[in-house]
């Protein structure tokens, strides 16, 4: 079976997230995001180039979760797809591109956080050594 992949996007939240609801009561999360870009120099160093800004949206329950978890400035990684649609701006029709995120999480390479698990995992208890097997000293990871 092949590995299923999707488009991904990483960056930072450049605006305060917004949460709205449609007539059916479905949530829509919207935020303006920024992506920093870098060029590699011949000596192996990097030079930062222009930062670009884009729209990111999420829908339904995931939108509500994202709104509760994210703030302006947070570094993120998203999975989803790019959607382009025509919109009216100043009397003209323009193509607007947005990233529709199916999943959204904090970028662990750029974020320090404490994880709170949804389920509790019982603590490991050392096994009682039996006469048939030699005792094994637990190794801390």
The Cα–Cα gap between 37 and 47 comes to 9
Best-predicted range by mean pLDDT (84-93, 116-125, 126-135): 84-93
Residue 129's pLDDT band (cuts 50, 70, 90): low
Please, which residues have CB within 8 angstroms of residue 12's CB and are 6 or more apart in sequence? 33, 34, 36, 73, 74, 75, 76
Please, which residues have CB within 8 angstroms of residue 87's CB and are 6 or more apart in sequence? 93, 94, 95, 96
For position 111, what pLDDT does the model report?
Answer: 86
Q: How far is CA 123 from CA 27, 95, 128, 139, 140, in A?
A: 38, 54, 15, 15, 14
Residue 122 in tokens: 């019982």
**Half-sphere exposure in the Cβ direction for 7 (13 Å, CA):** 9
- Range from 57-61, 75-79, 114-118 carrying the lowest mean pLDDT: 114-118
Q: How far is CA 101 from CA 36, 54, 55, 56, in A?
A: 19, 13, 10, 7
Q: What is the mean pLDDT of the chain?
A: 88
- The more confidently predicted of residues 89 and 80 is 80
DSSP string of 63-108, one letter each residue: HHHHHHH--TT-EEEEEEEEEEEEEEETTEEEEEEEEEEEEEEE-T
pLDDT at 114 over 90: no
Residue 136's pLDDT band (cuts 50, 70, 90): low
Tens of pLDDT, residue by residue over 32-70, are 999 999 999 999 999 999 999 999 999 999 999 999 999
- The more confidently predicted of residues 44 and 129 is 44
Residue 20's pLDDT band (cuts 50, 70, 90): very high
What pTM value is reported for the model? Answer: 0.74
């Amino acid at each position: 079976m092949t590995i299923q992949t999707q488009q991904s996007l990483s960056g930072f939240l450049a605006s305060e997230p917004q949460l709205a609801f449609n007539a059916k009561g479905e949530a829509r999360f919207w935020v303006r995001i920024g992506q920093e870009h870098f060029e590699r120099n011949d000596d192996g160093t990097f030079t930062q180039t222009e930062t670009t800004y884009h729209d990111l949206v999420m829908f339904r329950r995931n939108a509500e979760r994202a709104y509760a978890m994210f703030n302006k400035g947070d570094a993120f990684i998203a999975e989803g797809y790019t959607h382009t649609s025509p919109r009216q701006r100043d009397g003209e029709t323009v193509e607007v591109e947005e990233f529709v995120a199916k999943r959204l999480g904090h970028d662990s390479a750029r974020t320090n956080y404490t994880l709170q698990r949804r389920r509790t995992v019982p603590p490991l208890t050392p096994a009682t050594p039996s006469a048939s097997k030699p005792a094994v000293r637990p190794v801390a990871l």
